[in-house]
Amino acid sequence: MPPLVNLPKEAAHFNLALQLHKPEHGPPQRPPKIDNAQARIYSEAHLTPNRRDTMSADWLSNVEPMVYKSRIKVPYTWSVGETGSRFFVELRDNKRLFGKRCAGCNTVYVPPRKMCGRCFRDTDDWVEVGPEGTLQTFTVVRYSHELQPMAAPFAYGIILLDRASTGLVHLIGDTDLAALRAGIRLAPVFREERSGTILDIAYFRPVGSR
Amino acid sequence: MTERVAIVGVGQTRQERNKVYDTFADMVYEATTLALADAGLSIDQIENVVSASNDFWDGRTISSMAINDACGSYDKNISCVEGDGTFAAFYGMTRILSGAYDTTLVVAHSKGSESVSSHITNAMFDPLYVRALGLDAISSAAFQARRYMDRYGVSEEQCALVSVKNHGNAFRNPYAQLPLRLTVQDVLQSRMLADPIKLLDASPISDGACAIILARESAARKTPKPPVWVRGVGYCADAYHLGDRDLAECAALVQAARKAYDMAGVRNPRKQLDVVELYDAFTYQELLWTEGLGLCGPGEGGRLIESGATQLEGDIPVNPSGGLLSAHTVIAAGLVRIAECVLQLRGEAGERQVKGARTALAHGVNGPCGQSHCVWVLGV
Amino acid sequence: MPNRVAIVGTGQTHHCTRRLDVNGVELIYEAVGRALEDAELKMKDIDGVIIGNMDHFEGINYVDCWSIDGSGGFGKPTMKLTTGGTTGSTLAIAGYHMVASGMFDKLMVIGWEKNSESDTTGAITTAFDPIWDRLVFAGAISGLAVEASVYMATFGVTERDAARVTVRDRRHACLNPYAHLRKEVTIEEVMNSPRLSDPLKLLDLCPRTDGACAVIFASEHVAEKICPKPAWVLGTANRHLYTYLGDTDFVNLPSLRRASQELYSKTGIREPLKQIDVMELYLPYSFAGLSWIEALGLCKPGEAPRLLWDGVTDLGGELPINPSGGVISCNPIGATGLIRCAEAALQIMGKADKRQVPDVKIALSTGFGGCFWSDILLYGAKKPQ
C-alpha cells in the first residue's frame, strides 16, 4: 500500500534547508476559498473567511506577486572575554580543556563561565577537564545546510567531560553512526593547525571504555 | 491578580506555507481587523498595543517598525516584546493591571517563508562555542528527543501518535496549514532529519499573524461576546547552554505552570482543565510538556497519548487545533494557542469544539529545547 | 488597586569604545551586580528580569535566553523587549507597568549593547523597509541630517547654535565617571569636525559605545524599605508614529510633542521649564537639543537657541539638561534610553555625585529611536497620591 503522504509535496512545508533554496516551481498557489456553507458557519460562529476571498478579485487576479531576494550583511566580531579566552588559548596552544568551578554550588562549568548563573556570583577556580568524556545525548543529522562543518550524515553529541558538571556540545566523527549510544566514551581529536576556536577540536570520537 | 482581565477578541490569519501576497503588515492588519470585529470594537477603543516579532526572523532590526501602522498603533502607546506571543500577551496584561489602560491589543506575526530557518535558528546558539558547529532548531531538538526517550523509554511510535492526532485534528481547523491523514507507519517511514526526528515529527515552515484583545473587567462587560477570563499566568526560564540541564526535564515549565495553577486555583490539572493547547514544535515535545504541565507523571507522556485521553473525545484533549505540527508561525504560535482556547471556551470552535469546555490552558515557548515557558489558564 | 512604583537601585558599566575583556553576558553581569549592590539586594530577592538590546548589533537571536547566566534570569520569569533606539526607555516603561500591575515586587530591568562588535550602519540599515526605504537610504545619520536641514530652513537656526548643545553635553560628561567621552570640546572644534551628511559633522553626532545599565523597579510595598529616597515613577507615555521614512513630519518631532503632552496632562505639568528640575534627554545629535526641547514645550518653536546660549540648560541653570553628558557623550544603544532613566533616578535619589543638580523633586527622561519615535517618563521624589 503506497504511503498516503505524497512526500515531495509535503516536504515543501518543512525545513526549507532541505530544499537547498530551490525556488518555487510554477506560480504560487492562491489559498483555496472557503465554500459558502462553511463561510456561513464560521462567520456566525466567529470566523470570517479569508479577506482575500471576499475582496473584489478582478484587479487582484492580474497582480504578479513580486518577491525581492536579498541578504542582510551585518558582520560581527564577538569578544570572547577573559574567561573564554583562557579556554581557547589552552585549547590552541596546549590541547588542554578547562572548566571553571563555582564554589557556591560546586558546579564545574564547561564551557567555562565568568559567573555562575544559579548562584549569581563569580566562579572560582579553573579545573582541567577531560580530555575524555561520556556521551549524554546525540543525534545523527541527515540534512545539509551551508553552516554545517561536516557533510551529512554526521553526528552531534553533548559530551560530559571527565571532572566537568555540564556537557559540551560538539561533533562526533570517525565513527559508525549506527553504533552511537548514550553512555559511550569519547575523546577529542585535535586539529593539527589550531586557531583558538571550538573547531580546534575537529570532533570527538568513540574510544574503548576504561 | 489585583483585578480581573479578560480576552474579548481574537483574530488569526490562515497559517500557510507561503503567503506571497502578504507582507508582515498585511498579515498583522488582517489579524487586527478580525480581532476588532470579534470584539465589537473600533481601533479607537484600543488604548495601547503590544506587538511581538523577532528581528532575525523578519530580517530587519526594529522588526516592530514594519507593522506599527498595521496594528493601529499610530498615536497610541505601544511596545514590542521579542519572543513568543504568550509573553507579549503577559506584558499586555500588565499594562491593564497597572491601571494605565483599559484595553490592550496584542499582535504577533512571522513569515517563515521569507528566511532560511536553519540560519535563523543557528543564530540562537552561543557564537563562541556552538554556532560554528552548525547546530539549529532541528538538531538541538533531536538532542532533547533522544535524551527524553532514553531516560523514560518513550518510543518513536508513541511520538508518532502525536503527529497522527494533530495532523488529523487539523482537518477541523480552517486556519491550520497542514491537515494530513496519517498512520503511525507514515510517520515512522517519513524522511529522517536528525535521529530520532523525522519529517512528520517536525513542525512545518509557516506564515501567519494572530491578534488578541485584552480588557479590564469594566470594559470587558461591554463587549458583545462572553469574556474569557485570565485565571492564571506564569512564565519561567531555564539554563541556556544545552549541556547545563538534563534535557529530559522541564523545570521551567513546571515552575511556570505552578504559578499559573496557583493563581487559577487548579490543583488537579488533569481533572480541572477541559482543553489544552500546547507548544508541540516536535512530536516528543507534546509528550514532554504534558508531563511538565502535570497532566501525567514524569515519563508517562507516551502512555497518556496511547490511552486516547488527549484525543478530541478524550478526557483531556490536547491540541484540537492541530497544534504547531499543523502550523508553526514562530512568535505567533503561542498567541494562536491562546486564541484557540478562547474559541473553545466560547463554544465557537466549530468542528474542533471540545464539548462543554470551561477551563483551558494555552502554552508558549521561547528559546532552544524549551528553555523558557509561558502558561496561561483561561476560564469562563 | 495598582501599585505605585519606584526605582530603588541602578548600576552601569563604565561605558567605553570597546570592552575586549568581557563578552556580552559578562558585560550584563557587571551592570546587574552594580545595581544589586546599589540597592543592597541579592539576586534571590529579585522576582523577574526584562532585558533588551538591538539584535543585529550583537548577532544573537533570543538574547533573553542567551544572557541568562549574567542577567540573573535563571529560574525566574525572563522576557526581552526591543524597539530599536527606544529599547532602553521601552524597558523602563515596561519596568513600571510590570511592577505597577502587582505581578512583580522587584524587577531587574537591563539594557545593553556591545556596539564594537558589529557594523552599526550595516545593522541600522536593516531597520528600514527593504522594498521602499532600504535601497535609497543608509543608516541613521541621513534621516537626522534631513531633520536638521528642515529645522534650520524653517527657523533660521544655525550650525553654531547646534554646536552649543554638543559643548554642553560634553562638558557635563566630564563630571560623570561612567560616560564614554570625557573630554570637553569647543564650538570651533565642532564646526571644524569632518562633515558627514550636511549639515551634520562628526562632533554633532553620538559615538558608538559598549555598555550596560541595570535598574531595579520596586513596588510601594518594599521600595521604601530598600531605599531611603527612591525615585517614584509618576507617569509614562510614548508614540512610535512612523513606519516609512517618507511619512515622517520633520518639524519638532511630533512623536515627542504628543507623548509629552500626554505625560504632562496625566501628571499635572503645565509649565515644564518651571516645574521640572532636571531632564535626561535622548539627544543622539546636536540639533535635537534645540528642536526637541521645543517639542517638549520648554519654549516656542525656533526659540531653543536662546535657552542654550543663556545657559538655562547647563548645570547651574534653571533646567539642567543631560548632566550625565547625554547620548552625545555615550551611546550603547540598547542601554542608552535606560541610562537616561537611571540618571534621572540618580538625580532624585541624590546619588549623582559631581553631576548632582541640587534639590531635585521632579525629573524627566526620554528615549528616541526607530522612525523618529519617542518615549518619555516622569519621576518624583515624593510618593504619588
User: What is the domain partition of chain C in residue ranges?
Assistant: 5-118+209-226, 120-208+234-379
For residues B324 and B203, is the Cβ–Cβ distance under 8 A?
A: yes
- Rounded-to-integer distance, Cα B303 and Cα C343, Å: 57
Whether residue B190 lies within 8 A of chain A, CB to CB, comes out as yes
Q: To which H or E segment does residue B164 belong?
A: helix B156-169
- Hey, are the CB atoms on A84 and C126 less than 8 Å from each other? no
Summarised one tens digit per residue, pLDDT across range C129-185 is 777 777 666 567 888 999 999 999 999 999 999 999 999 999 999 999 999 999 999
SS3 A90: helix
What per-residue confidence (pLDDT) applies to A60?
67
**Among C55, C76, C98, the residue to mutate for chain B (most B Cβ within 10 A):** C55
Whether residue C72 lies within 8 A of chain A, CB to CB, comes out as yes
Helices (H), B265-299: 269-272, 283-292
What per-residue confidence (pLDDT) applies to C248?
80
CA triple B50-C108-C172, angle to 5 deg: 95
What per-residue confidence (pLDDT) applies to C137?
64
Checking if the pLDDT of B170 tops 70, the result is yes
- Hey, are the CB atoms on C70 and A115 less than 8 Å from each other? yes
What per-residue confidence (pLDDT) applies to A11?
57
Contacts of B76 in chain C (CB under 8 A): 239
Subunit partners of chain A (3 or more CB pairs within 8 A): B, C
Nearest to B149 by CA among B283, B341, B350: B283
Summarised one tens digit per residue, pLDDT across range A50-106 is 444 444 456 666 777 777 777 776 677 888 899 999 999 999 999 999 999 999 999
Summarised one tens digit per residue, pLDDT across range B307-345 is 999 999 999 999 999 999 999 999 999 999 999 999 999
What per-residue confidence (pLDDT) applies to C339?
98
CATH fold of C120-208+234-379: Peroxisomal Thiolase; Chain A, domain 1 (3.40.47)
In Å, how far are B69, C238, C240, C246, C292 from C254, measured between CA atoms? Answer: 16, 11, 10, 14, 9
**What is the distance, to the nearest Å, from the Cα of residue C105 to the centroid of all Cα atoms in its chain?**
24
Subunit partners of chain B (3 or more CB pairs within 8 A): A, C
Q: Count the residues in chain A.
A: 210
Over pLDDT 90: what percentage of chain B?
Answer: 96
What per-residue confidence (pLDDT) applies to B136?
96
Task: List the single residue in A13, A109, A137 with the smallest CB-CB distance to B17.
Answer: A13
Q: pLDDT class for C1, splitting at 50, 70, 90?
A: confident
Whether residue A137 lies within 8 A of chain B, CB to CB, comes out as yes
Q: pLDDT class for C360, splitting at 50, 70, 90?
A: very high
Strand partners, C366: C376
Average pLDDT, chain B: 96
What per-residue confidence (pLDDT) applies to A57?
56
**What is the distance, to the nearest Å, from the Cα of residue C62 to the centroid of all Cα atoms in its chain?**
23
Higher model confidence: residue C244 or residue A165? Answer: A165
Let me know if the fold of C5-118+209-226 is the same as that of C120-208+234-379: yes
B5-115+205-220 — its CATH code? 3.40.47.10
Q: pLDDT class for C249, splitting at 50, 70, 90?
A: confident
Residue by residue, DSSP assigns C70-135 as: HHT-TTS-EEEB--GGGHHHHHHHHHHHHHHTTS-SEEEEEEEEEGGGB-HHHHHHTTS-TTTTTT
Task: List the single residue in C81, C101, C243 with the smallest CB-CB distance to B79.
Answer: C81
- Rounded-to-integer distance, Cα B212 and Cα B77, Å: 17
- Rounded-to-integer distance, Cα C141 and Cα A59, Å: 40
Summarised one tens digit per residue, pLDDT across range B259-284 is 999 999 999 999 999 999 999 999 99
What is the least distance, in Å, from the CA of A149 to any CA of chain C? 20
Q: To which H or E segment does residue C220 belong?
A: helix C220-226
Strands B77-81 and B48-52: parallel
- Rounded-to-integer distance, Cα A192 and Cα A209, Å: 25
Please name the residues between 6 and 65 in chain B that touch chain C, using a CB distance below 8 Å: 25, 54-56, 59-62, 64-65
- Rounded-to-integer distance, Cα C25 and Cα C9, Å: 20
- Rounded-to-integer distance, Cα B310 and Cα B308, Å: 6
Summarised one tens digit per residue, pLDDT across range A186-209 is 999 999 999 999 999 999 999 974
For residues A181 and A110, is the Cβ–Cβ distance under 8 A?
A: no
Q: What is the mean pLDDT of residues C32-41?
A: 98
Sign of the alpha-carbon torsion through B267, B270, B273, B276: positive
- Segments making up each domain of chain B, as ranges: 5-115+205-220
CA triple B35-B40-B43, angle to 5 deg: 65
For residues A155 and B134, is the Cβ–Cβ distance under 8 A?
A: no
Q: pLDDT class for A24, splitting at 50, 70, 90?
A: very low
What per-residue confidence (pLDDT) applies to A43?
35
> Which residues, 6+ apart, have CB-to-CB distance to C232 below 8 Å?
C4, C5, C6, C223, C348, C379, C380, C381, C382, C383, C384
- Hey, are the CB atoms on B127 and A76 less than 8 Å from each other? yes
User: ipTM, 2 decimals?
Assistant: 0.97
- Segments making up each domain of chain A, as ranges: 7-62
What per-residue confidence (pLDDT) applies to C55?
86
What per-residue confidence (pLDDT) applies to C129?
75
SS3 C237: strand
Q: DSSP state, A59?
A: T
- Rounded-to-integer distance, Cα C77 and Cα B192, Å: 35
Instruction: Output the pTM of the full model.
Output: 0.93
Average pLDDT, chain A: 79
Tell me which architecture the domain covering C5-118+209-226 has in CATH. Answer: 3-Layer(aba) Sandwich (3.40)
CA triple A66-A68-A72, angle to 5 deg: 160
> Which residues, 6+ apart, have CB-to-CB distance to C160 below 8 Å?
C187, C191
What per-residue confidence (pLDDT) applies to C185?
97
